[in-house]
Every structure is written in C-alpha cells, then in structure tokens.
Homo-oligomer: A and B are copies of this chain.
Amino acid sequence: MAQEYLDMDTIKYLLYDVHGLNELLAYERFQDHDMESLGLFIDSVKEFADRELFPYFKEMDEHPAYHKEGTVIVHKQVDVMMKKGGEMGLIAAPFDYEHGGLQLPAMAYTTAAYILDAANNHLPGYAGLTLGSAELIVHFANEELNATYVPKMLAGEWGGTMCLTEPQAGSSLSDITTKAIPTDEGYYKISGQKIFISGGDTQYAENIVHLVLARIEGAPAGTKGISLFVVPKNRPNADGSLQYNDVMTVADFQKMGQRGYCTTHLGFGDKDDCRGWLVGEPHQGLKYMFLMMNGARIAVGRGAAAIAMAAYQASLEYANERPQGRKLTSTGKKNPDENQSLIIEHPDVRRMLLLQKAIAEASLSLVLLASRYQDIKQATNDESERNKYHLLLEMIIPIVKTYPSEAGAVAVNNGLQVLGGYGFCSDFILQQYYRDIRISAIYEGTTGIQSQDLLGRKITMENGKALALLAAEIRETMGTASAYDDLKPYAEKLGAKLTLSQEVLNFLMPFAKKGDYERYLADANLFMEFLSIVVIGWLWLDMAIKAKQRLLTGDMNYSEAFYESKIHTMKFYFRYELPKTTGLAESLMDPEALTVKTDKKVFV
C-alpha cells in the first residue's frame, strides 16, 4: 500500500493560484467564508480522509458489500462516512443557510470531495448521492417534503439515491415503465423495478430516500411522461415513527471495482404498499433530474480525477524507491559494474509518470474550473454574467465527466505498468485503482452519451454561443501566454488546434443541417477526444502562465522546482498529447461513413 494518495500543494496551487478561489469570496453568497476558514475546512477533510477513509481502502475491495436477506451489508466505514461526514458538513456544505447548509463555494466543496475520493473512492458516493437527492427535494419539492426529509439527509442520518435505470431501458430513459397511481390521500402508489442503484441500501441507514423516475398512469409516452417521486424505504408516520414502505432490496450487483460502494436492484410495491410523493409538477421529472445532473457528472469526473491522482502518487512512490537496470552508456550497452539505477531515472518510466501527472493534475484543474463556473453562476446577481457562466458550464460538463474518466483510466494503466509484474499483483494497490476507475466512463451517462451531448446539444446551443464563449476564454489565455517568450510557441500551437477544431465543425455541420443527425453524431466520440485534448492543453497553458508569473515575481508559496515542474509538464502535454488531435481531425473529416448502419452486413 502506498503512503500518500494526494499532492496537497498542487491542490492548493490550483485552487488559489490558478482558479482564484479568493476572488469568489467577494460575492455576497460567500461572505461569511474567508481564506483561513476554507483552508481549515480543507485541512480537516484531509485529516478525516487520512484517518477514516484511506486505511480501509484495500479491505473494502477485498471484502465487498453484499446482499443478504433483503439488505446490503457494507463496511463499517460507510456509517462513519455518513454520520461523521454529516457532522462535518460534508453533505450540507453547498446548500443554502435556509436549508441547513453552509453556503460553501462549490470549489471548496469539490476539493473536499476530491480528497475523500482520492483516499477511498468506495465511500464518498454514499454521501454524494444523499446530497444530490436532497438537492432535488430542495429545488423542486414542496415544503412538507423538505421538512420531512432534508434535515435528516444533510445530517447523514438518512441516505438518498437516484433511481433512473430499469432493466429493459438502460440509458434510454424514455422507455422506463415504473408506475405511479394517484390516490385520494395525496400520495401515489409506486410499482416497478430499478437497477444499478448506487448506495441503494445499507444495514446502517435508518432510512433511505429514493428519488424515483416513474410514469403517472395515463402519462404520454417517452420522456415527456416521466415524473419524479420521493419514495422512502420507510415512510415516516405523523408521530415520527417509521413504517416499512414496501421498497425491497431484491439483489445487488457484484462488480469488477469500487466493490465497497454497493450497487443494488430495488423492487417497489411488490406488496402493493409502496407510497411515493410527487416532486414538483407531473411529467417534469426528467427535466428536474437533468437540472441536477451537472452536479452528478462533475462528481464522476472528480472521482476519476482523484483515482488518477492517487494512482500517480502510488506509482511515483514505487519509481522513487525501486532500483532496476542501468542507464545506457555511449556504446548503447549497460555497465554491470555500475550500481543499479532507480527506475525513475529511465526515460520510458519518466514518460509514463509525466503522462500520469499531466492527466491527473489537469483533470483536477478541469473539475475545479467547472466548480468555479457553478459558483459564479449561482452567486452572481448580474444576469449576463450568470448566463455566460451557465453556458460555459453547460459547454464543458460532458468533457468534465469524460476526460478524467477516459484519460484517467489511461493514466492509471500507465501507473500499473510502472510497477511491472508487481502492478498486476493484488499486494500492490495499482490494480485496484485500475479496476475502480473503469466505472467512471459508464456512470451518469456513458462516454458515448456524453459525446452525443457535446456535439449534438452543447456545440449547437444558442447557435454556437457556448462554444464561442469557451473559445474566447481559450484565446484570452493564449494572449496572456504570448507575452512570455518561452510560452508563446505553445500559445501558437494551441491556436492552431483551435482553428483545426473549427475546420472539423465546418466539415460536420452540413450533415446536421441537412437532417442527417446519425451521420453528424456518428463520430461524436472522436470529437469528444479531440476537443478534450484542446481544452486540457488550454488548462495546462494556464497552469504554466501562473507558474511563470510566480517565478518571475519571486512571490512563491512553493519551491522554484514546483513551479518549474508545472511548466515542464505543460511542455510534455504539448509534445506528447496535443499532436493526437491531428490524427483525430483526419479521421473526423474523412467523408466515408463506415459506422452508420446500412443494408450491408458488416458483422459476419
């Protein structure tokens, strides 16, 4: 087991130097916070993660959650995560004061959750989904539902889940069939099956509050007929006592990774006694769910970014300690009389470590950027500013979900490879990160779905305004970089890629315009990879600028080497990752359609 799972200096550098958390504190919403109180909060979370999360990471994998007699038995730290985490405000953090929250900036809350994810990615989801389902109630449900459920949820006493997926529908929510029959008593009778419900049941939860998508009898077909309900496992009686609400934990799903974070199959209304309470208006359920989906997607990206970082730390630690082989001499041979080198001295190992560093640190930067957009959007009183950050946020959300998930898995793969045979062995932790991170590209909309969202909705949003705003942000960073002689060439490289992205879109757009959406979106996945690489190049250029400025002014919170390493990693990214866009653009602008189904039989 590795000693460390994080680089707190880099976290603080990104939070303060790069993304300017302090600037946010000028907004009225955050006026009760200051840099010192936020710093203390983050440090206390790290201390909590060190003590209560990280030490149990491996054993939660080795002793997964399991289904037994209608309930799911989880590790005891799940209870600690919920109750102590609740006490610490880890669920209440982003909520308004009036709902019992702390009004913490999303950037600070996200940093806290990232630390927890890096320490032990099997635990934070229990709190995170409770937060997410409480948000749905707070935003869309009536006061009674708020009063009944939210305080218990924010305290970590009751858990919460999101119940979307059904066996026959998968990602296609228009096909869900869970039924809600109105009654005269104000509640609905719920019946149906939901699968892949994370955190759906534990032996510790006094109650679990499910936010369930279902169809009210007679509702229109498709996504327009879906409503949202609060369906508790146990329904509170008038006297505060709890009564079983006919929500059955039918089974669980055993998984390749993240095995301590239970995934359940729930059955509602098997005995015709399952009551659900409508959230907001009928038939608006999917809209509500998706208004809250950004948070869930940032959370997945954040978790993947954190796993990539933890894996990087573990493989760096190994590379710094493991002697093996020797440097090549000028004859191309090795000299056996020399001492062995540490493997971190070999170029190929350095390449794998730099790749991990480039991906892991930029993924965190991306997640914090999204949180910053969220914060400004929420905190500003200026409508045009709100709209700008709303569009920027919408624009990058699919990338925030996808890049850390996909590139993060590549980073962990390289981390495993650094350890050679040991990387494949259960005694070392890399193989667990390798398995755990793999779910990220599936959770909350697969990479395929995110890519369709990016190219199909976000790029075309308000006639391309979201994309134009993003491009303007990138150009601004390029402008700043151009003022520094040694950064200018990188700004130019990035500019060329921005131009290339426009060429790609010019090639694709006519398909959409003539109504051939299938062809337009057929390579959305490649476009996602293409645009992600450009965006990450932008974030690295920005990190390099901020480092350069510190080096030039001498106003340094960290060592000179720390700032130099950021510039070095930017150069690495531009040399090894950015060129991939050239081939991707070549593929994207190839006129031949080979993946759209025709009469020709392809899979023979």
Contacts and interface: CB of A to CB of B under 8 A. Distances in A.
B575 A332 contact: no
A602 B254 contact: no
Given A424-B438, A438-B434, A587 B575 contact: yes
A110 B513 CA distance: 52
Contacts of A442: 417, 420-421, 423-424
Interface string A571-599: 11001100111111011001010111100
B420 A171 contact: yes
Given A324-B172, A562-B604, A594-B568, A427 B350 contact: no
Contacts of A472: none
Contacts of A346: 448
A326 B174 CA distance: 10
Interface in A539-588: 558-559, 561-562, 564-565, 568-569, 571-572, 575-576, 579-584, 586-587
Interface string A425-440: 1110001001100110
A337 B175 CA distance: 10
Nearest to A316: B603
A325 B172 contact: yes
A603 B353 contact: yes
Interface in A270-318: 316
A439 B431 CA distance: 11
Contacts of A420: 170-171, 442, 446
A328 interface: yes
A529 B580 CA distance: 13
Given A525-B348, A594-B354, A435 B256 contact: yes
Given A583-B583, A603-B353, A348 B451 contact: yes
Nearest to A581: B583
Interface string A508-547: 0000100111110111111000000000000000000000
A196 interface: yes
Most-contacted residue by chain B among A195, A256, A517 (CB, 10 A): A256
A256 B409 CA distance: 16
A344 interface: yes
A257 interface: yes
A447 interface: yes
A8 interface: no
Interface in A434-481: 434-435, 438-439, 441-442, 446-448, 451-452, 456
Nearest to A223: B336
Contacts of A559: 604
B336 A601 contact: no
A183 interface: no
A308 B340 CA distance: 37
Contacts of A451: 348
Contact of A351 (B175, B336, B525): B525
A26 interface: no
B327 A518 contact: yes
Nearest to A446: B420
A507 to B, nearest CB: 14
Given A442-B424, A575-B590, A602 B328 contact: no
B337 A221 contact: yes
Contacts of A120: none
Nearest to A221: B336
Most-contacted residue by chain B among A196, A330, A347, A565 (CB, 10 A): A347
Contact of A328 (B170, B448, B521, B601): B521
Contact of A565 (B431, B580, B602): B602
Most-contacted residue by chain B among A170, A337, A354, A423 (CB, 10 A): A170
A169 interface: yes
Interface string A145-180: 000000000000000000001001111101100000
Contact of A579 (B325, B327, B517, B586): B586
Contacts of A579: 582-584, 586-587, 590
Contacts of A327: 518
Given A332-B456, A575-B594, 9 more contacts: A172-B326, A253-B425, A331-B515, A344-B603, A420-B442, A565-B601, A565-B602, A568-B600, A568-B602
Q: Which 6 A-B pairs have the closest CB atoms?
A: A222-B336, A579-B586, A330-B515, A347-B522, A579-B583, A256-B431
26 contacts: A170-B325, A171-B420, A172-B325, A222-B334, A253-B427, A332-B517, A347-B521, A347-B596, A347-B597, A348-B524, A350-B595, A354-B595, A357-B603, A416-B438, A417-B442, A417-B447, A420-B442, A420-B446, A564-B600, A564-B604, A568-B600, A572-B595, A575-B592, A579-B582, A580-B583, A582-B583
